[in-house]
Structure 1
Amino acid sequence: NKSLMSFIGCLWILRSPCRLFHGCSRLLTSQIISYYDAINQCKKERPEYFNFASDVLDEWSRLEKDGKQLANPAFWWVNDEGEEVKWSFEELGFLSRKAANVLSEVCGLQRGDRVKVVLPRVPEWWLLNIACMRTGIVFIPGTSQLTAKDILYRLQASKAKCIITNDTLAPAVESVMRECQFLKSKLIVAKGSRDGWLNLKELLAVTSADHKCVKTKSHDPMLIYFTSGSTGFPKMVVHSHSSYGIGFATSGRYWMNLTPSDIMWNTSDTGWVKSAWSSVFAPWICGSCVFVHNMPQFKSSLIAETLSRYPITVFCTAPTAYRMLVQHDLSSYKFMSLKHCVSGGEPLNPEVMAKWKTQTGLDIYEGYGQTETVTICANMKGMKIKPGSLGKAVPPYDVQIIDDHGAILPVGKEGNIAVRVQPTRPFCLFSEYLGNSEKTAASVCGNFYVTGDRGIMDEEGYVWFVGRADDIINSSGYRIGPFEVESALIQHPAVSESAVVSSPDPIRGEVVKAFIVLAPAFISHDPEKLTCELQQHVKKLTAPYKYPRKVEFVQDLPKTATGKIQRKVLRNKEWGRV
C-alpha cells in the first residue's frame, strides 16, 4: 500500500533523526519550517489502520531484538524509597501483552468497551495504557484526587465496564457501586488482596503474554478525557488512535526536542492530558526514555534533587511549578544532563522564564494546546523565543485569530484563538464531545474550531495569550486580560503568586481585582502601604488603566487538581455567585 509505506517512511524519519540530519547534513534552523512541511505529508497519507502499540512500540522492540540497542530504557520509574523499575521496549511489550490478556480474558472486556483508570504515578498506569491500545478498549484516565462523587459521575457518564484503582481510592468506589450496575469488574493495584476486587499485580504474575494486537482503524476511539468547561459538568473528549498516536510526532521532535538518546521527565499527574502528551506518545514515538518519579506531593527540593541525581535531558512541568522552583534556592544544585525545558497548561510569566534562565542557563520553551487537541502552538527548538508568547502554529494546524462570526482578524487585533477545520478537519483534533452533539457543533464557528481562549497574533505569526473568553475584564469599555496584570505583579518581590479577576464597581461596571499570596519576607508588611506600592508597580509596567483597583492578600489560591489557578472560583465569589 503506497499510502501506508509513505506514512511508515515518515515515522522512520521521526524515530531516527540521524537519517534525516546526518544523511542530508544538518539543516540550518532557518529552514525548520521545511521539516514541518515534510512531516505534514504524513497527515495526508494517514493510513486506514493504525495502532500505537503495534506500529510504534513494537517496532522499537523489534529494533532492540535486531541488535540496535537503544541508549536508554523505554521506561524508568523511581520513588522516594529508592525503588526503581526499568523496562526496555521489549519488556514493555511483554508486560503490556499480559495486561491486555487480563483485561480481555479475566475481566471479560471487549473491543470498544471503556475502562476507568484512577491511579497515581505507578508503573501499572503505563502498562494499562498500552494494554487498552492492544485490545481496542477505550482508556479513561482520572486523577487520584477524585472524590466518590466525581468517580460516580464519570462512571455513569461513560458507562465504563471496568474500573482500576488502588487501595486508597477503593473505598470511594465501593461507596457508589450500587449506582453503577453496568460495571463488570474492579481491578486493584495493590500488594494485598481486597474483597470483591481482582488484584492486577497477582494476575500479571500468572497470565500469559501470548496476545495478538487488534487491528484498529485510525479513527477508532482510543482515549476519553473528562474536561471542565465554563458551565455544566465535565465533558467527555474522545480521541482516536491516530489523533494522539501520530499527532504528537511533530511536537515531540521539534518542541520537546526528543531523540532516542533522551530521557524525558514530565511531572504531570496521570489524570491530566499532559501526561498522555509528554509521558506516553511524544517521547515514545521519538524512541525516548519516559522517566517517572512517583512524587505523591510536589516539592521544589524533590524536583531539584531529582534533576541533579538522574541523567534527565528533557524536563517538562507546569508554569506553577516553575514559579515555585525559581523561588527555591537552586544555586546548590547542578543539572548536569538537563539540556531542554518545556512548559504548558497555562501561560508562563516572562519574569519566571528570565529567573529560570539566570539560575539554570536554560530557556523554557512554552507550548499551548487543549484536551481537545495536540500541541496547537509552541516555541520550537531553534526559534526565537518571545517571552510571554505561545509561539507559532504547530503543523498540521492552521491557527488564526477570529472574531465571533468566524472572520480572520488582522495582525495585532484581539480575538478568539481558533484552528481551521474547513475544508479539511485536522486528524489530530478530538473526534467529539461524547453524548453531547450540541457542544460538539458549538465548538465550530464558520471554518474554525474555537478554543475558547482569547489571543493576538503578531506580524511574525507568534500567538499571544490574553485569557479565557470568560476571564476577560471589561472596565469602562477597556478590555483587560488577567494574565498581563498577573505577569506584572509577579515581577514585584513581595508577590509569590497572584490571580486577577473582575470585581463589581458601581461606576465602571467592573474593575480589576488582584488576589495575592505574599512572599514570606513581606507577610508582616503594612497591607495598605503594600497595596499602594503594588498598584504603582503595575502602572509602571502596563497601561495605567490595567492596574488592580482592589487588592486582597490571601494565604493560597484555589487550584485544580493539576495546579491551574481557578480564577472562576474567585470571580464567582466577587460577584456573589457562590
Structure 2
Amino acid sequence: MQLFKNFCTPTVNKNGLLVDFQLNVPESYNFGYDVVDEMARLAPCDRALVYTNPDKVEKTFTFGDISRLSNKAANALKAQGVKKGDKVLVILKRNYEYWYIVPALHKLGAVAIPATNMLTVDDITYRIETADIRFAICTPDGSTAEDMLEAAAQKRQLESVFVVRRDLPGAINLTKLIDSADESFTPVDTKAEEPMLIYFTSGTTGYPKAVVHDHTYSLSHIITAKYWQNVRENGLHLTVAETGWGKASWGKIYGQWLCGCAVMVYDFDSFSPHKLLRIMEKYKVTSFCAPPTVYRYFIKRNMSKYDLSALEHLTTAGEALNPSVFEKVYEQTGLCLKEGFGQTESVLMLGNLVGTESKTGSLGKPTPLYNTMIVDEDGNELKENEVGEIVVVPQKQQYGIFMGYCGDEKLYESVWRNGVYHTGDTAYKDEDGFYWYVGRIDDLIKTRGFRVGPFEIENVLMKHPAVLECAVTGIPDASRGQAIKATVKLADGFEKSKQLEKEIKRFVNKKVSSYKHIQVLEFADEMPKTISGKIKRTDIRSIDRTKIC
C-alpha cells in the first residue's frame, strides 16, 4: 500500500520524470497515526522492517507489529511523564527499537532528538542545555547509558534516562515497561506545523546547530524516497546511515514507509564493505543509498563478485561524488549512481531524479519542492557556469525546510537573510540546468586572483591509485595569496615517500589548469573527521596555521 498518494499531487512526464509536486497537508497530521497506524489497518502483514546484526540475530517487523509496539511504547513513556512538547534524546544506533520508539514519540507529540552513540559526556550536556532535553532513551550497547547518567548528574533538567534491554542502576529499563504496556493508545492531536524532530548538525564549522523540523518534514521525504531513491511497494531499501544522523530520516523510515517499502537494517559497529555487500546479497535489497566513501570501499572489493541481481537503484549524498567512483560502480553493477544534495535543514534540494539522464558528477537539478538558484555575494542570480552560493527562495509551498535553530534565533536570521535561505554551499549551473558542486563557502581557495573549489582538484587526486582519501585546502602564500595544498591518506599497499609525493603532484598538475596546481602535498595517517564521517577541512586549516606560526 502506497500512502504517499493521499498526501501529494505529483505530475510526471511520459518518461516518468517528476516535473511538479504539490503536498496536500492536513491541518492536523502525525506520522505515527496517519502513516504507521494506517498502514497497519490497510496492510498489516506487509514488511516494515527487516533487521539483522553481525551476530546473525534476525527479526522481521510488519506494519501491524510497528503500530502495536509504538502504541505500547507511547503508553510506557506517557506513564513515566513524557508528554506533548517534551524534548527526548534518542540514542539507539541501528537497534530495532528505534523504529517503534520514534513513532511512539510522534504519537505523544514529543519532540524526538536522534543522536549518535559516538557522543561524549560533554557533547551530551551541550545538547541537553541547548535543546532543554527532559528525557533520554539509550542503546544497551557500550557506555552510552552510563555517559547519559553522568550527564544527567550535571544537567538536572534531564529528568529520566531510559535504556532498552538492560537493567542499570539509576536508569529505567524501557523494554520491560513496553512489554507490560497496553496496546491501545489514545491519540494526541498534533498540528502539521508543530515541532516534531530536532537534529544536531555535525559541526564542521563550529558548535553543532539544533535544527528543528515540523511534522511536514516526514511528508516532504516522499520526493526523497519515491522520486530519487526509487523505492517501491514491497521493496527493500537500505540506507547505511546510523539513526543519529539526519540521513536516517532520508532513507530509513519516513518516505520509505509512505511508499509501502520495507527498510533493511544492518546493526553493525565496525564497517566492513564485504559484510555489507553480503547483507545486500542475502536479503535481496532492491534500492541502496550511501555516501561516496562507502562506494569507494565497495569498488575496491569489486561489486561484480556479489549477487546483487535484486538491486534496481543506487543513490548517493552526504559529500561530493568523484566521477571515477561513478564510473567504477557502473562498470561493476550496470547501475548509474544518482547523486543528490540536501542538508540537515532540508529534504532533497537537488537531485538526479528517476527518469532523468544524469551527468556524471552532477548534483542534478532542483526538485519541485524548492525554488533553488545560485547567487553572488550581493544576492544577484548568476549566469550559467558562474560559481556562487546555493540559496532557496521561498515559494507558496515551502515544506520540508527547517523551522528554526533551537536556542539561536540570531543564527536562524543570518541564514535567512533578506527572506532567502543561504545554504553556505557553492556550485555552478551549466547550460542544461545541472548543478555542479564546488564546496563550502569557507572552503574556497583564493589564489592568484582566482577562486578555486577544492572538489575539482580532489576529483583528480582520487583517480590516482595511491589515494584513498584526500582534502584540498588553501595555505598562506606571499605571492599567490593562497597556495593549494593537498592532504592525502594513502591506500593499502602504498608507502609515504618523496618520490610518491612528486608523482601524485605531477599526476594532478598535468590534468588541471596552472592556477589550480598543487604546490604542497602532505601525507596523513588519518583524516580529521566529524563524528558523522565528513572530512574537516577546518581542522586541516587550523593545523596548517599553527605550523606557519
C-alpha contact 2:202 2:532 (8 A) present in aligned 1: no
CA distance in 2, matches of 1:182, 1:564: 32
Aligned Cα RMSD in Å? 1.9
Question: What secondary structure does 1:470 align onto?
Answer: helix
**What residue number does 1:54 align with?**
33
Q: TM-score, normalised by structure 1?
A: 0.91
Summarize the alignment of residues 432-443 of structure 1 with structure 2, pairs less than 5 Å apart.
432-443=404-415
Secondary structure of the 2:94 match is coil
Q: Does 1:571 find its partner at 2:544? A: no
Query: Is the contact made by 1:36 and 1:250 (CA closer than 8 Å) also made in structure 2?
Result: no
The 1:384–1:540 alpha-carbon spacing in structure 2 relative to 1, beyond 3 Å, is: farther
* Equivalent residues of 1:76, 1:291 under 8 A apart: yes
1:441, distance to aligned residue in structure 2 (A): 0.8
- Counterpart of 1:143 in structure 2: which amino acid? T
Question: What is the CA–CA distance in structure 1 between the aligned matches of 2:539 and 2:56, rounded to whole Å?
Answer: 39
CA offsets per residue over residues 366-423 of structure 1, 9 Å max, x none? 11100000100011122111111100101111110011222111111110001112x5
Question: CA, structure 1 residues 8+171, in 2 after alignment: closer, same or farther (shift >3 Å)?
Answer: closer
For 1:186, the equivalent position in structure 2 comes to: 161
Matches within 5 A, 1:372-521: 372-421=345-394, 424=396, 426-521=398-493
Query: What's the CA shift for 1:36?
Result: 3.6
Aligned 8 A contact 1:162 1:183 in 2: yes
Residues 1:218 and 2:192 are matched in the alignment: yes
Moved more, 494-503 or 326-335: 326-335
Identity score, percent: 35
Please report the TM-score for the alignment, with normalisation by the length of structure 2.
0.95
Counterpart for residue 11 of structure 1? 7
Residue 277 of structure 1: aligned partner: 250
**Are 2:285 and 1:312 equivalent residues in the alignment?**
yes
**Aligned pair partner of 2:14 in 22, 28, 33:** 28
The residue identity in structure 1 corresponding to 2:149 is: E
Opposite residue 176 of structure 2, the aligned amino acid is E
- What letter corresponds to residue 214 of structure 2 in structure 1? S
CA offsets per residue over residues 276-324 of structure 1, 9 Å max, x none?
A: 1100112111110011000111111111211211110001111111112
Aligned residues of 2:488 and 2:521 also touching (Cα < 8 A): yes
Q: Is the 8 A contact 1:61 1:93 kept in 2?
A: yes
What 5-or-longer segments of structure 2 have no aligned partner? none
Shift of 1:251: 2.2
After superposition, give the CA deviation of every residue in 1:218-246 in whole Å (9 maximum; x if it has no partner).
Answer: 1100001111456542111100001x221
SS in 2 for 1:429: coil
Equivalence for 1:85: 59
1:146 aligns with 2:119: yes
How far is 1:262 from its partner? 1.2
Report the 3-state secondary structure (helix = DSSP H, G, I; strand = E; otherwise coil) of the residue aligned with 1:412.
coil
Partner of 1:240: 214
Any idea what the Cα deviations from partners look like across 1:72-108, whole Å, max 9, x if unmatched?
x111110112211111111110000111111111x20
Query: How many residues are matched?
Result: 544
Deviation at 1:566? 1.2
* Matching of residue 127 in structure 1 with residue 100 in structure 2: yes
CA offset at residue 59 of structure 1?
Answer: 1.8
For 1:493 and 1:466, how far apart are their aligned partners in 2? Answer: 23
* Structure 2 counterpart of 1:183, one-letter code: L
Structure 1 residue 443 displacement after superposition: 0.6
Q: Post-superposition shift, 1:159?
A: 1.3
Paired residue secondary structure (2:82): coil
The one-letter code of the counterpart of 2:190 is T
109, 115, 136: which is aligned to 1:136?
109
DSSP-derived class of the 1:517 partner: strand
1:536 Cα deviation (Å)? Answer: 2.1
Task: Provide Cα deviations, 1:91-139, integer angstroms capped at 9, x if missing partner.
Answer: 110000111111111x201100110111211011121110111000000
Distance in 1 (CA, whole Å) between partners of 2:302 and 2:229 is 26
SS state at 2:97 partner: helix
Distance of 2:350 and 2:337 partners within structure 1: 14
Shift in CA distance, 439/364, structure 1 to aligned 2, threshold 3 Å: same
Question: 1:3 matched to which residue of 2?
Answer: none
**Deviation of the 1:9 alpha carbon:** 5.3
Q: How far 1:575 sits from its partner (Å)? A: 1.5
- Match of residue 17 from structure 1: none
> Does structure 1 residue 102 correspond to structure 2 residue 79?
no
Contact preservation (8 Å) 2:457, 2:516: yes
1:288 and 1:219 map into 2 onto residues whose CA distance is: 26
Contact 1:226 1:236 in 2 (8 A): yes
The alpha carbon displacement at 1:555 in A equals 1.7
Give the Å deviation of 1:46: 2.6
Kept in 2: contact 1:313–1:338 (CA 8 A):
yes
Q: C-alpha displacement at 1:540, in angstroms?
A: 2.8
Q: Counterpart of 2:343?
A: 370
